[in-house]
Structure 1
């Protein structure tokens, strides 16, 4: 028997007695062992957003080993690619982009690996909705490896998202040269071609509609000019912060439509219909006629508005057709001109002192010889149209 054996047994007994009396300080807590277990790098299901050497020294050590600068650029790039892939699987696309970007920064000489890094980053950008950035990465990936099929597919899908269907067709055609039976490219090309044709058809229709609209506008402007009707337009020039206004017999540049949306138009017989405003200063009321035919007389509209039911604001019931007078204001001379109710709208618009403002001729209606009418014009220049 070995004389040392009793001594070794005694030492072992003492060691075991120590464990029976003292609890192991590094043991897991029975209530939180699962959470503590996940803190061990080998068993982590998800890496923390930020690696702190003080809080997770083991993880920091592993990261240092994986991305040690002493390793070759290819090895480092591959490690970043794998890290990015893990983030991608977790749908943490922002983290995946950061990892792929770090891999790209290694500037390794492996064109295949670089193409994968760019393509993977393009995929992450795509799922974040960054379609332009994704497309740029797909283009760069193909510069690294022209026949990289995943990059071609990603480029085609990006073009679809930004509605550049013609480019999507080109990407698909290039990809089908690499892999003629690629299902995703075949499906995408069919859809892109259909949408491209529809977009071209819509563009042609829009162009034709714009051309027709411009022709109608030109015809309208010629009709106004030929009648000698003057338009009061706002000048682009400003003095002392006040907008100037100028008379012009030229085209309606920005005053053909009023706030109601109604605007002057020319009918199939070449006659103009104007939106017209009637103001009643005594009662601060207005009437709007959306389409006053230029050959219609003022008396015709007054009869229609006042011969049947008088307006509710006319409590004194004095707005009777035969007692009404019509005026327009010449703002440049601060004068008022009385209109003969038997006149047509065109006759008044052609008057030398009449200007159409904001695309809408406007007139003032008063009760003849009423106290308000006399007071209103007491300090104003008044002219009668013969």
Structure 2
């Protein structure tokens, strides 16, 4: 793929930095024998290897760059739609640049939105207002909705599954809601956005919606324009490779230096496409096949993906990076199979912890069996369907 001209210079600066400060990329330069200062950057890019989550997990000692003394490092988390568990790290500078970018985009849509009237339902801080959103029992959702509306949000960001639940309860008149003009935008991220659900939410909330496609590794990759086309961000290079008949996305972030994201296979199927758009954004549009989906645990009001993600990250906080991939099958109403691709430091203590936490959340009368594999099989769109509910 020919890279956009305006991004080649920034890519060169990034690669020069990595060749000087990152052991992983120093070794690549030595192996490929290129001159980062004088060789054609497009040709160098073409030679660079594709990097996966597993590459990062397997090379923690050499993958992270040297940092400026005193630079604060932040840990973020993703199990990702591919089910492959990864801790993400960014410097304070990188997080600031990424945050400034997305806020600049939001302010183009709504100049009055700011951190005091913007509420992201994914943030841990939101638990104090809305609780853990994987529990979508009607009474809990209604209570949490009123708590959320009490702070008078101008802009709400969250998964379409939860926002659809709000909209359904409003239409069933179980929630009393009328937009008084305060709520201006709903921003979707973390899940696949289908047009019917999107229109339903817009009509119910009487506000506009925007789709934010991104990952924990890079934050925003592409954002909707007024024509609902996902335009690639200025600091992102989006590429793709053929894997059989599928196009697999390769993402490069021109901001991430500490944990570099270069020709990174994020597990999603899609590709950048040149598409004229009268919104006057000249950046390419990203086409995605499928997306992230969420299912209820049959017989409960609990969203399976979110519950098991939360429990898994509690295990990470206690034991470290002990799971590479996972998948849960609900075999009967109260019977589950938890499939795990073990990390290097997995132990029986982890199994006992996971088992205990699942029973705490779902009830002691549930049965959980564990099995272990080398890899968990993904769907045809590159996603790993992490939770499979029981079908009556």
TM range (shorter): under 0.3
Kindly indicate which of the two structures has a greater share of residues assigned to helix: 1
TM-score, structure 2 as length reference = 0.20
Q: Which entry has the higher C-alpha Rg, 1 or 2?
A: 1
TM-score, structure 1 as length reference = 0.20
Kindly indicate which of the two structures has a greater share of residues assigned to strand: 2
Q: Which has the higher contact order (CA 8 A, sep 6+)?
A: 2
